[in-house]
Amino acid sequence: MLSTRHLLGIKDLTLEDIELIMKTAQEFKDVLNRPIKKVPSLRDVTIANVFFENSTRTRLSFELAEKRLSADTINFSASGSSVKKGETLLDTVNNILAMKVDMIVMRHASPGAPHFLSKHIKANIVNAGDGTHEHPTQALLDSFSMREKLGDLAGKKIAIIGDILHSRVALSNIFALQKQGAEITLCGPTTLIPRHITELGVKVSHNVKETLKWCDVANVLRIQLERQQIKYFPSLREYSLYFGISKQMLDELDKEIVLMHPGPINRGVELTSDAADSHHSIILDQVENGVAVRMAVLYLLAAQN
């Protein structure tokens, strides 16, 4: 059983929680590869997907996970809702809960929004991304995908490359990988690396080629232009020149490394198309594993009620 009622961030999970989620996700992955992909585990459980920010993969992945578990789902999108008329977050969610919803999957632009809600409502909350803070299910599916390729992550060398400053995926991955005993190096332009990030026990590099030589896994993040209020580098072309990864760079390494990306990819910026589609890449495996991992999270949280 999980040690927490909500999945607000990886920071709150124990190593035992992570291991339990991984084990359960593996069982659900086996289910997803059967001809009949549905199980009745969450029949009579109602889950609301409450998204205040745009999402494709995460939202579809959660919806599919819920349907595979036979849960009843309702979808809420802020763009066409009363939020535009001035309704507060708490009022919006309480109105949804009044319809007898058991669990909320929520994405919000403000860091800490799911934590705030968890103090005021009874339903379980799954954080599907809160601003630039955390994105726990992405980190869990990344760990699951790495473990499929590398086995135990203790002592493995993981590089996270790109826009660390604006990335919720980076922070959740740091917490998840450290709990599993991995070594982490962050790589990107000085302007996109948070100032005191080394206090979390990670190394920092500004040289992509050196970082690729060092690592077993390169988890590449996109440049989040929509979160950048000022210019952090001269141009996308220059960023691509210094920090972009091509298939040629991967082929020149004297070892095989695993290439990951949480999506959406800006092809030609952080990754060239031939790198993203190469045999090094497990990007589509991550998407497939996302459904199994989210099924595991929903199932384990619902089991506590």
Q: What pLDDT score was predicted for residue 236? A: 87
80, 86, 91, 97: CA torsion to nearest 10: -10
- Is 57 known as a binding-site position? yes
Structure confidence at residue 76 as a pLDDT band (50, 70, 90): confident
| pLDDT surpassing 90 at residue 56 | no
Q: What pLDDT score was predicted for residue 83? A: 66
- Is 11 known as a binding-site position? no
Burial class (CB in 10 A: 0-12, 13-18, 19+), 30: exposed
- Is 168 known as a binding-site position? yes
Q: Check residues 43 and 230 and name the one with the higher pLDDT.
A: 43
185 neighbors 126 (Cβ within 8 angstroms) = no
Which tokens sit at 78?
């802020």
What domains are defined for the chain?
Answer: 10-135+287-302 (3.40.50.1370), 136-282 (3.40.50.1370)
93 neighbors 118 (Cβ within 8 angstroms) = no
- Is 26 known as a binding-site position? no
Does the CA dihedral 258-260-265-266 come out positive or negative?
negative
User: pLDDT per residue over 79-91, tens digit each?
Assistant: 766 666 678 888 9
Structure confidence at residue 231 as a pLDDT band (50, 70, 90): confident
Give DSSP secondary structure letters for 97-146.
HTTT--EEEEEESSTTHHHHHHTT-SSEEEEEEETTTB-HHHHHHHHHHH
Q: What pLDDT score was predicted for residue 225? A: 65
Residue carrying structure tokens 């988890």: 219
User: pLDDT per residue over 125-154, tens digit each?
Assistant: 999 999 999 999 999 999 999 999 999 999
| pLDDT surpassing 70 at residue 228 | no
- Is 290 known as a binding-site position? no
Q: What pLDDT score was predicted for residue 152? A: 97
Q: What pLDDT score was predicted for residue 305? A: 77
| pLDDT surpassing 90 at residue 303 | yes
Separation of alpha carbons 59 and 51, rounded Å: 8
- Is 88 known as a binding-site position? no
| pLDDT surpassing 80 at residue 295 | yes
Give the H/E segment covering residue 183.
strand 183-187
- Is 261 known as a binding-site position? no
- Is 58 known as a binding-site position? yes
- Is 227 known as a binding-site position? no
- Is 237 known as a binding-site position? no
Distances from the Cα of 115 to the Cα of 2, 87, 126, 208, angstroms? 17, 19, 10, 35
Does the CA dihedral 61-45-72-32 come out positive or negative?
positive
User: pTM value?
Assistant: 0.95
Structure confidence at residue 302 as a pLDDT band (50, 70, 90): very high
